[in-house]
């Protein structure tokens, strides 16, 4: 039997669109069909994912072996990049969902000419309210006047939480994907507050364009972090605490007093 990874076919199955008229329905059936036909579980490596029956509100797919849930967001795009944001549904539903214990993992797909260009896994433990951007309410003239949607700010998620499965039309090695997922687990925390601090400070560290950096370079993000965490007046203390956690988790090392180095 052929290994499904070796045979990963990036083309959509056009037969799945037969009988559908609207563009949004067609894009849903072809992209979800592609996941059913081609995608393995990026968490435990099981060869297939199962589709939830229609209108299941929590997620689109699940893994029979490890019980993980997955939601798919896809967008047609001519550019090869995945983009910095992706539109999602209602803002309030999204915030409720990411703070719940059954928050699904997210697949972000971009495609063009009936083929997958990019597919990224964002593990559920990388979702924080800070990466959900509220869109302006729909105008009074709109059918759903007052409805508030949201965007997921993919660009604000640390590197470890953006795991490519297909990049620029090339599938990544399945074992590499699973290894990256397992490595990202060290960033999982219990409370939403500690998740926010850890991921926000990691993102600041990633934005420093050097492998070696100083405590003062991270302190430069103090005002920005204060805005994200208005309830905390001891931002510098929090920064030092998160740097220690990132050291304990193997993402950075302390080289000398006030000096650090990124490990990955």
Residue 110 exposed, middle or buried by CB count within 10 Å (0-12, 13-18, 19+): buried
Which three-class secondary structure state does DSSP give residue 164?
strand
| Measured distance CA(149)–CA(132) in Å, rounded | 10
Contact window for Zn ion (CB under 5 A) among 64-72, 160-168, 169-177, 238-246: 64-72
Contact window for Zn ion (CB under 5 A) among 7-15, 35-43, 129-137, 208-216: 35-43
Q: Check if the beta carbon of residue 42 is closer than 8 Å to that of residue 165.
A: yes
Contact window for Zn ion (CB under 5 A) among 36-44, 118-126, 154-162, 176-184: 36-44
Does 220 contact Zn ion by CB under 5 A?
no
Look up residue 51 and give its two tokens. Answer: 């589709």
φ, ψ for residue 17 (rounded to 5)? -85, -10
Give the bridge partners for 65, in sequence order. none
The residue within the footprint of Zn ion, chosen from 3, 58, 66, 147 (CB under 5 A), is: 66
Contact window for Zn ion (CB under 5 A) among 4-12, 38-46, 119-127, 153-161: 38-46
Q: Check if the beta carbon of residue 208 is closer than 8 Å to that of residue 217.
A: yes
Does 49 contact Zn ion by CB under 5 A?
no
Does 59 contact Zn ion by CB under 5 A?
no
Q: Check if the beta carbon of residue 4 is closer than 8 Å to that of residue 40.
A: yes
Does 46 contact Zn ion by CB under 5 A?
yes
Total residues at interface with Zn ion (CB under 5 A): 7
Break the chain down into helix, strand, coil percent, rounded to 5. 35, 25, 40
Does 208 contact Zn ion by CB under 5 A?
no
Look up residue 199 and give its two tokens. Answer: 């991921």
Residue placing its CB nearer to Zn ion in the complex, 24 or 67 = 67
Does 44 contact Zn ion by CB under 5 A?
yes
The residue within the footprint of Zn ion, chosen from 8, 41, 106, 199 (CB under 5 A), is: 41
The residue within the footprint of Zn ion, chosen from 35, 43, 157, 177 (CB under 5 A), is: 43
Does 63 contact Zn ion by CB under 5 A?
yes
| Measured distance CA(263)–CA(260) in Å, rounded | 10
Question: Hey, what long-range contacts does 220-225 have (CB within 8 A, 24 or more apart)?
Answer: 225/200, 225/201
Does 145 contact Zn ion by CB under 5 A?
no
Residue placing its CB nearer to Zn ion in the complex, 65 or 173 = 65
Residue placing its CB nearer to Zn ion in the complex, 46 or 148 = 46
Q: Give the binding site for Zn ion (CB under 5 A).
A: 41, 43-44, 46, 63, 65-66
């Amino acid at each position: 039997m052929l290994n499904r990874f070796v045979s990963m076919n990036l083309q959509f199955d056009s037969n799945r669109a037969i009988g559908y008229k609207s563009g949004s329905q067609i894009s849903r059936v072809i992209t979800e069909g592609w996941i059913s036909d081609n995608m393995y579980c990026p968490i435990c490596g099981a060869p297939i994912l199962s589709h939830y029956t229609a209108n299941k509100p929590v997620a689109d797919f699940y893994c029979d072996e490890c019980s993980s849930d997955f939601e798919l967001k896809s967008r047609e795009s001519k550019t090869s990049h995945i983009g910095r944001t992706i539109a999602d549904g209602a803002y309030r539903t999204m915030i409720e969902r990411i703070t719940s214990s059954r928050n699904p993992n997210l697949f972000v797909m971009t495609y063009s000419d009936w083929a997958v260009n990019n597919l990224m896994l964002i593990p559920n433990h990388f979702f924080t309210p800070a990466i959900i951007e509220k869109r302006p309410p729909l105008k009074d003239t709109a059918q759903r006047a007052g409805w508030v949607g949201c965007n997921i700010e993919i660009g604000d998620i640390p590197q470890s939480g953006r795991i490519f499965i297909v990049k620029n039309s090339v599938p990544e090695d399945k074992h590499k994907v699973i290894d990256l997922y397992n490595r990202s687990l060290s960033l999982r925390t219990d409370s939403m507050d500690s998740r926010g601090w850890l991921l926000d400070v990691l993102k600041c560290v990633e934005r420093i364009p050097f492998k070696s950096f100083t405590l003062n370079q991270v302190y430069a993000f103090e005002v920005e972090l204060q805005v994200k965490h208005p309830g905390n007046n001891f931002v510098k203390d929090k920064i030092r605490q998160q740097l220690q956690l990132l050291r304990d988790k193997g993402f950075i090392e302390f080289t000398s007093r006030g000096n650090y180095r990124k490990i990955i």
